[in-house]
Structure 1
Amino acid sequence: MRNTKPIIIAHRGASGYRPEHTLAAYELAIDLGADYIEPDLVATKDGILIARHENEISETTDVASHAEFAERQTTKIIDGESKTGWFTEDFTLAELKTLRAKERIPEVRSQNTKYDGLFAIPTLQEIIDLAKAKSVAVNRTIGIYPETKHPTYFQSIDLSLEEPLLNTLAANGYQGANAPVFIQSFEVSNLKYLSTKTDLPLVQLINNIGKPYDFIVSDDERTYRDLITTSGLQEIAEYAQAIGIHKNLLVPRDSIGKLLPPTSLVTDAHAASLLVHVWTFRNEDVFLPLDFLGNPKQEYELFFSLGIDGIFSDFPDIAILNF
């Protein structure tokens, strides 16, 4: 089940170099050597899956500057949090195609702001088309690693993500446990549902804080930490093939950001026949542990030495260089 070489997953594309979730970011990631490109999926008003970090798009597009959409600014409760802005589910795909992407964290990645306004919001189909075309061009298979964002919320407004995702993947020939695709989610119930509908690989995402939103809705007392116990991992293995973990669950940090000894999570997950993919690796000091400031390659070297099966990176070229 395990590969000897960890896969390099381009987190939202090569988002360290281009605004995230754009075809430009995904194409650059492939050119830099990524094995998989990762789109976060949300739905449009007309049920089309598109790639955005969140369904609220004021941070990642120029929607606020479009006077014709001013009246659509609103406040909603998404996964228990109040958010004010513009939401993908209130726009048709045609309307969203009039917007342009911008850098989400300009205070950290000011160099990327020169690309603001250049790129459209891509659909899942456009991302698949790119992956297939580039697979031919670079003579290697480029996988996709889609995440269903806020699945309980989208289900509640009759814009389920799961069926359009499976239908799109099937229409594009993604079939079987060895297909170049992983489907990921921070929630549990939708992955369990997906496991009854597909044999494509599924990934349970696990944060270092909090709990899956569907657990909150169902009054399940378990947290993410409960999912990485021996029994939790065994339960995940019944419906998923991998875990996608916050890196602090594998190598914790102390109160000032210095690294502590690694946990046994890789060994424990492998004992449950689960792959371990770790997120998210970035070059900037604001994201690095205190031990590795100014030297992100040391973080990669540490995590690769622990036997992980995959890594999410905003800078896929740096990940590859340090394996």
Structure 2
Amino acid sequence: MRIPSAIHHVGLASLLLAAGPACAGTGHSAYPVASVQLGPRPFFLVNDMPDGKLQRQLQSCAKSFQHYRVSEFSIGHRGAPLQFPEHTRESYEAAARMGAGIIECDVAFTKDKELVCRHAQNDLHTTTNILATPLASKCSTPFQPAVYDNAGNLVTSAKAECRTSDITLAEFKTLRGKMDAFNPRGKTVDEYMAGTPTFRTDLYSGPTSGTLMTHAESIQLFKKLGVKMTPELKTPVVPMPFDGFSQQDYAQKLIDEYKAAGIGAGRVYAQSFLKDDVLYWISKEPAFGKQAVYLDDAGTPADLPTSSDLKAFKAQGINIWAPPTWALLALDAGNNIVPSQAAKDAKAAGLGLITWSLERSGILADGNNGSYYQTIDAAIHREGDVLRVIDVLAQDVGVMGIFSDWPATVSFYANCKGL
């Protein structure tokens, strides 16, 4: 397979032509993107960087660039969920306006085996308003309030579990998306649902927004926006086959919906954490399989594949490996961010690299920035350091693209560097 170049600019004229009439049943149209609009965040991050060559280069771009273009190096992770409810129409549109050339729909299935965009099959209780609707009674685990002792100490955390497979597609479409969060101390549904971290916002989670989408609807929206598509087949939490619906049926249905929409395989980067899904696509749908993405859910460096494992992936026909960001980065003796051994081994094996996900870790200057920075956290001291991370991933590791919860940051860097 010829691995695509790290960046491919989509002309604004073609993007305008791609923006068409309203999707059926949505009630409003995909906006015509006259130009990429990055907003203030990337420029705030540039100014927050430590003084040095990279900051001066990026500052020069910030001063001289008049127009920014869509870039496939910038991948909208669940859309733009730093501020918009993930996997909603509004989140996807925001990602496209910020220059993401590829946008993700995580794919789960409903009770009637229809495909919908959700990060997990069992996250409706944290990503939608289901608990505040009559559909709450259909949840696998209805809401159970937090329990406190007489002294006010928390004894049992609040909990619930609501699955896409608990409800039909028609029922799913009645829900509204909200920011993915919950409050384990909640004694009421309202308290449980009000857990949004302070670095995010509920400003775009009102009763007239948070529009949920089917997988097929996401395809039509992305087609109109002129972006490429990266659906992730989510690992089911129910035993498979589900009512006769096998894992292979599930993997095939995902591809079939692109074929039905007339989307060529070159516009689709199908993903899965299950290697068997990727191997199925390679075997049964080779046009789609040649750029299918094998996601890696390693939690620590010890969990990463060895050099031999990575060579074996390539021998099986896998062309793109997508580990978390920390897996591709390390620190040298001078505390500089450099490519990890896994990154070097993957490139030596001939694998293309995509990585996930930036701008999910809150305020970086607070330190202790979570799993995404675990191998380099000692070198992360301020918000602008995210641009240093992007620079090493792009220039030294050589990734094809970066998932981000706020695509404008990666889009800015990609435009500035040209790659």
TM-score by length of 2: 0.64
Distance 1:230 1:309, change over 3 A: same
1:282 to 341, 359, 363: 359
In the alignment, which residue of structure 1 is the partner of 2:252?
163
Q: Secondary structure at the match of 1:174?
A: coil
**1:252-295 alpha-carbon deviations (Å, 9 max, x no partner):** 479xxx87643133332233221100110116325463524221
Tell whether 2:86 aligns with 1:20.
Answer: yes
Distance (whole Å) between structure 2 residues aligned to residue 148 and residue 129 of structure 1: 18
Alignment of 1:174-323 (within 5 A): 174-176=263-265, 179-199=266-286, 200=288, 201-209=291-299, 224-226=303-305, 229-237=306-314, 238-252=316-330, 261-282=338-359, 284-285=362-363, 287=369, 289-290=377-378, 291-295=380-384, 296-306=386-396, 307-323=398-414
Distance 1:281 1:11, change over 3 A: same
Distance 1:154 1:210, change over 3 A: farther
Q: Secondary structure at the match of 1:59?
A: helix
**1:186-226 alpha-carbon deviations (Å, 9 max, x no partner):** 11122212211112121111123279xxxxxxxxxxx8523
Superposition RMSD in Å:
2.6
Distance (whole Å) between structure 1 residues aligned to residue 217 and residue 272 of structure 2: 21
1:132 to 197, 202, 223: 223
| One-letter amino acid of the counterpart of residue 87, structure 1 | R
Worse overlay, 192-201 or 108-117: 108-117
In the alignment, which residue of structure 2 is the partner of 1:150?
235
Deviation (angstroms), 1:70: 3.1
| One-letter amino acid of the counterpart of residue 45, structure 1 | K
Q: What percent of counterpart residues are identical?
A: 27
Distance (whole Å) between structure 2 residues aligned to residue 225 and residue 85 of structure 1: 30
2:307 touches 2:342 (CA, 8 Å); kept in 1? no
Distance (whole Å) between structure 2 residues aligned to residue 312 and residue 236 of structure 1: 22
Distance 1:182 1:242, change over 3 A: same
1:10 to 51, 56, 76: 76
Deviation (angstroms), 1:153: 4.2
1:282 touches 1:315 (CA, 8 Å); kept in 2? yes
| One-letter amino acid of the counterpart of residue 406, structure 2 | F
Q: Secondary structure at the match of 1:131?
A: helix
1:13 touches 1:28 (CA, 8 Å); kept in 2? yes
Q: Secondary structure at the match of 1:38?
A: strand
Tell whether 2:179 aligns with 1:94.
Answer: no
2:80 touches 2:94 (CA, 8 Å); kept in 1? yes
> Can you give the 5+ residue segments of structure 1 that lack an aligned partner in the other structure?
77-82, 136-141, 212-222
Distance 1:251 1:210, change over 3 A: closer
1:121 to 207, 212, 230: 212
Distance 1:43 1:233, change over 3 A: same
Distance (whole Å) between structure 2 residues aligned to residue 87 and residue 131 of structure 1: 25
Distance 1:260 1:298, change over 3 A: closer
Distance 1:151 1:191, change over 3 A: farther
The count of residues paired between Structure 1 and Structure 2 equals 292
1:48 touches 1:164 (CA, 8 Å); kept in 2? no
Tell whether 2:130 aligns with 1:58.
Answer: no
In the alignment, which residue of structure 1 is the partner of 2:156?
none
In the alignment, which residue of structure 2 is the partner of 1:220?
none
2:101 to 30, 35, 45: 35
Distance (whole Å) between structure 2 residues aligned to residue 152 and residue 231 of structure 1: 31
2:292 touches 2:320 (CA, 8 Å); kept in 1? yes
Deviation (angstroms), 1:173: 2.3
Q: Secondary structure at the match of 2:108?
A: strand
Alignment of 1:73-112 (within 5 A): 73-75=139-141, 84-105=160-181, 106-112=196-202
Distance 1:4 1:91, change over 3 A: closer
Q: Secondary structure at the match of 2:267?
A: coil
> Can you give the 5+ residue segments of structure 2 that lack an aligned partner in the other structure?
8-71, 143-158, 182-195, 415-419
Deviation (angstroms), 1:119: 2.0
Distance (whole Å) between structure 1 residues aligned to residue 300 and residue 276 of structure 2: 16
Please tell me whether Structure 1 or Structure 2 has the larger radius of gyration of its CA atoms.
2
Distance 1:319 1:276, change over 3 A: same
